[in-house]
Structure 1
Amino acid sequence: MRIDDFLVAPAEAGILPKNSDEQYELSFWDSIKNSNYAGDYEAYLKQYPNGKFAALAKSRLDRIRAAGPSAAPSAPAAKPEPKAEAKPAPAPTPPPAARSAPPSAPSPSTPPAASNQPRSRAGGAISQGTVTMANEGKETPPPAATKPGEARGGESRDCPQCPVMVTIRPGSFTMGSSTSDPAERPPHHVVVNKPFAIGKFEVTIEQWNACADANVCPRIATNNADMKNAPVRDISWDDAQQYVGWLSKTTGKPYRLPTEAEWEYAARGGTSSAFWWGDKMSKGNANCKDCGDPWSDAAPANVGSFTANPFGLHDMNGSVWEWVADCWHSSYKGAPVDGRAWEEPACTSRVIRGGSWREGASYMVSSTRFKYSTSVRQSQNGFRVARDAN
C-alpha cells in the first residue's frame, strides 16, 4: 500500500474556508501533486516542513533526484477549485485568434452587459460594486459606471529591456466582494489618489534574464530562454524585489510591485462586474483552462495573447499569479482606503492576485486573492511591475 492511499483529496474531504491555514496547505499541495519538477516539492517542504504531505513530498523529491537530469519536468496541476452551487457559464462567442507577439497598442472594448449574476467560488452571487473616476465627484451605481479606458493614460518604456508601462489616473472603486471568499470581505470604497504606472504585460522571461545577465536576479531553470515573450514564473516575492531593485537602479526611477489596491483598480479597468468583460465567463479574454485558445496545461501563453482590458492591460486575469506589495491579511477589515500597501512588521506572507492559466473561471474574478510565503517559488507565480507616475 502506498502513502498516497492514506491521503484524502480536498474535493473528497470537503472544502475548508478559503482563508484557513489547512486549506492553504491543501491548495498548495494540490497545485504540485502531479509535478515532476523537484523545485515544486522543495517549495512545499520549505513552506510546510511538518505538513501533512511532507513525507510524500520527500519521497517524490528523492525519486526525481534519483532519476537524474534526464527526467523531464512537467508543470504542476492547478490549485483546487472550491465547490460551488454553480459557476459562471461560458458564453457561446468564439475566442479571437491568438497573436504571436504582444500587440503594441490594443484597442479597449466596452465590456458586454450581462443579464445573470454568476456564482462565486463560495457558491454565492458575485457582489456588484461601484466604480467612479476621481474627477466625477460622486459615486455612480452600475451600469452607469466609469467609461472603459477613462482612467488610462499614455504608454512609456524607460529602457530597451524594460517593461512597457501604462499610466493609470487617480480614481475610486469598490474593492473586494461581499459574497465570495471571506478573505475578500468586506467590500470597501478605495480612493487611489495618485497616478501610477503599471506593466502593460507581466514581466517576461527575456526581461527577467536581462537582470540575470547583470548577475542581480537568479536564473530560473524552469524558464526556457527561447520563450522570450512568455511570462517569467517560479518567482518568489523576494525574487521580484531583486528585479524591481535592479530596474530602479538601471533606470533611476522608483520601480516596485503594485499595491493590492492598485492592482485590483487596474484589473477591473473601470468596471464593477465580476470579470472586466462582464458578469459571465466569455472566452478569449484571459488565459485559463475555461478561457479558450490558445491554452495548454503545460505552460502559459505568451504575454498579450489575449484581449487587453479597458485600461489596455493584458493578462490581469489568468496567465500567472501576480505578486503585489501587501502583507497578507485574512480579510479587509481595517484595510487602507487610499490605495497604499498594507504592511506589517516582519511580514513573511504576501498577497498574490489574478489566478493562473491552470485555474478555471471561478478564479478569474477580479476580487480573487491568495497568499504565499515571501521566499517560496511556485511554478504558477510571476509578477508585473509598477512605479509612481512621472
Structure 2
Amino acid sequence: MPKDSAEQIELTFWDSIKDSTHASDYEAYLKSYPNGRFAALARARIERLKAAEQKPKAPEQSRVAPAAKVPSEREPPAPKAAPKAAPEQAQPEAPAAATEKPKAPAAGVSAAKDCATCPDLIILPAGTFTMGSNTSDPSEKPAHRVTLAKPFAIGKYEVTVDQWNACVTAGACPHVGGDASRPGNTPVRDVSWDDAQQYMKWLSAQTGKAYRLPTEAEWEYAARGGTTGKFWWGEQMRKGMANCKDCGQPWQAEGPAPVGSFAANPFGLYDVNGSVWEWVSDCWHNSYKSAPADGRSWEEANCRVRVIRGGSWREGASYMPSTTRFKYDASVRNSQNGFRVVRDAQ
C-alpha cells in the first residue's frame, strides 16, 4: 500500500496499470494525473490499444490479449457488488470451485429480495466488531471497536452486468466500458462512485426502499462474517476461497469469474475478497484516527476521494485480508472497480 505522499500514490497507481491491456486504465490515470510524470506514456498506450482494436482480425484466427501483470507487493491497484442476474438467469447456488462450503449461516442472518431484477440481499444482525489492524498498513490503524446498532441488508453478490444493464435500459444509468460484451452474471465494473449513486437512486425508485452504498464499517463487518482473523477463513490463504491471482481456480486473467464462483463467508456473502474492488460511501482518511465508532459513513465537506475495499481478481493474496483498503476519485472509472448494495433492514 502506498505511503502518505502524493508522489508515492501516483507511482503506486502507475505501477498497478503499467502492463494493462485496457485503455480505460490509462484514461483513469490521466483523469487523476493529467500532467503526471507518466501522462505522455499513458496517452501513447491509449492510442496504441485503440488502434489495435480497430485492426481487422484474420479469418479463423483468434487473438487473445496478454494477461495484465499484477503487482506482487501489497500496493492496491490504481483504481481498486454486483446486482443479481436477470430473472431468467439463475445465480449459482454453491461456489463452483470452493474447496469447502460454509457451515450453517450465522445466527440472526436471513435473506431478502425486493423485486425480480433486484440484487439478492442478506440481512445481517446488529453487532460489535474490531475494525482495522494494528499490524498492517498505516491506513488500517488503529484497530478500533465499532458498534452497528441496527441490522442492515447487504448484497449477497456484487452488482452484476445484467442488473446494471436493467438500469441502463431504463435510461437511468450510463453504459460503461465493455458492459455489452461481458457475461451477464459477472460483476459490473468500470463504474465510478458517482455511477453507483445513479444505480442506487434508480433501484430506490423501483422498490420504494432507500438503497445506498455500504459504509466502510458495514462493509468490513459484513466481509469478516463474524470472524476476527486476517481472512474470514483463517490466517493463511487457501485455494478456492477468493477470486484473485494465485488464489486458485476458476481464476482468469481477462476478468473476474461469475459471481458466486468461490466460497461464501459465514454470513453467506460471496466475493468479498477479490473479484472487483467495491466502492463504499465514506470519504478517504489516511488512518482510522478519530473514526466514528457507530459505523456511520465518515464524511468531509466537498469530499471527492472515496474508499474502495476488498481487492480484485488482478491482485495476489496480499490484497485479500479483510482490512485491505484504498482510495479513488469518485468520478473515475476503472476496470477493476464495482460495488455492492445496502439498505436498512425493515
Which one scores higher on RCO, CA 8 angstroms, separation ≥ 6? Answer: 2
Name the amino acid aligned to 1:314: Y
CA RMSD of aligned residues (A): 2.2
What SS class does the counterpart of residue 154 from structure 2 fall into?
strand
Name the amino acid aligned to 1:181: D
Name the amino acid aligned to 1:38: A
Cα shift at 1:43: 1.1
Cα shift at 1:42: 1.3
* Cross-structure match for 1:103: 92
Task: Classify 1:105/1:164 alpha carbon distance in 2 versus 1 (closer, same or farther; 3 Å).
Answer: farther
Cα shift at 1:105: 7.1
Cα shift at 1:31: 2.5
What SS class does the counterpart of residue 167 from structure 1 fall into?
strand
Q: Distance between the aligned counterparts of 1:294 and 1:275, measured in 2?
A: 19
Q: Distance between the aligned counterparts of 1:74 and 1:358, measured in 2?
A: 13
Matched, 1:293 2:278: no
What SS class does the counterpart of residue 271 from structure 1 fall into?
coil
Deviations 1:323-350 (A, max 9, x none): 0000000000010100110001110100
Contact preservation (8 Å) 1:108, 1:149 = no
Residue number among 47, 53, 62 corresponding to 1:62 in the alignment:
47
Task: Classify 1:384/1:17 alpha carbon distance in 2 versus 1 (closer, same or farther; 3 Å).
Answer: closer
Deviations 1:157-193 (A, max 9, x none): 1111110000000001000000100000000000011
Contact preservation (8 Å) 1:203, 1:385 = yes
Cα shift at 1:51: 1.3
Provide TM-score, normalisation by structure 2: 0.87
* Cross-structure match for 1:274: 230
What SS class does the counterpart of residue 45 from structure 1 fall into?
helix
Deviations 1:19-60 (A, max 9, x none): 433332222212222223322211110111121111111121
Q: Distance between the aligned counterparts of 2:14 and 2:72, measured in 1?
A: 9
Residue number among 319, 326, 329 corresponding to 2:275 in the alignment:
319
Matched, 1:347 2:303: yes
What SS class does the counterpart of residue 54 from structure 2 fall into?
coil
Q: Distance between the aligned counterparts of 2:226 and 2:285, measured in 1?
A: 25
Task: Classify 1:79/1:375 alpha carbon distance in 2 versus 1 (closer, same or farther; 3 Å).
Answer: farther
Task: Classify 1:36/1:225 alpha carbon distance in 2 versus 1 (closer, same or farther; 3 Å).
Answer: closer
Q: Report which stretch shifted further, 101-110 or 242-251.
A: 101-110
Contact preservation (8 Å) 2:231, 2:237 = yes
Matched, 1:329 2:329: no
Contact preservation (8 Å) 1:28, 1:79 = no
Give the fraction of aligned pairs with identical amino acids, expressed as a percent. 62
Q: Distance between the aligned counterparts of 1:172 and 1:186, measured in 2?
A: 16
Task: Classify 1:246/1:80 alpha carbon distance in 2 versus 1 (closer, same or farther; 3 Å).
Answer: farther
Contact preservation (8 Å) 1:37, 1:75 = no
Name the amino acid aligned to 1:321: W
What SS class does the counterpart of residue 171 from structure 2 fall into?
coil
Task: Classify 1:76/1:255 alpha carbon distance in 2 versus 1 (closer, same or farther; 3 Å).
Answer: farther
What SS class does the counterpart of residue 281 from structure 2 fall into?
strand
* Cross-structure match for 2:319: 363
Cα shift at 1:373: 0.3
* Cross-structure match for 2:70: 78
What SS class does the counterpart of residue 7 from structure 2 fall into?
helix
* Cross-structure match for 1:129: none
What SS class does the counterpart of residue 323 from structure 1 fall into?
strand
Cα shift at 1:68: 5.2
What SS class does the counterpart of residue 40 from structure 1 fall into?
helix
Unaligned runs of 5+ in 2: 57-62, 76-88
Deviations 1:289-327 (A, max 9, x none): 121100111111000000100000000000000000000
Task: Classify 1:351/1:151 alpha carbon distance in 2 versus 1 (closer, same or farther; 3 Å).
Answer: farther
Residue number among 318, 336, 339 corresponding to 1:383 in the alignment:
339
* Cross-structure match for 2:27: 42
Task: Classify 1:352/1:179 alpha carbon distance in 2 versus 1 (closer, same or farther; 3 Å).
Answer: same
Q: Distance between the aligned counterparts of 1:307 and 1:68, measured in 2?
A: 36
* Cross-structure match for 1:130: none
Provide TM-score, normalisation by structure 1: 0.78
Equivalent pairs counted in the alignment come to 322
Contact preservation (8 Å) 1:185, 1:332 = yes
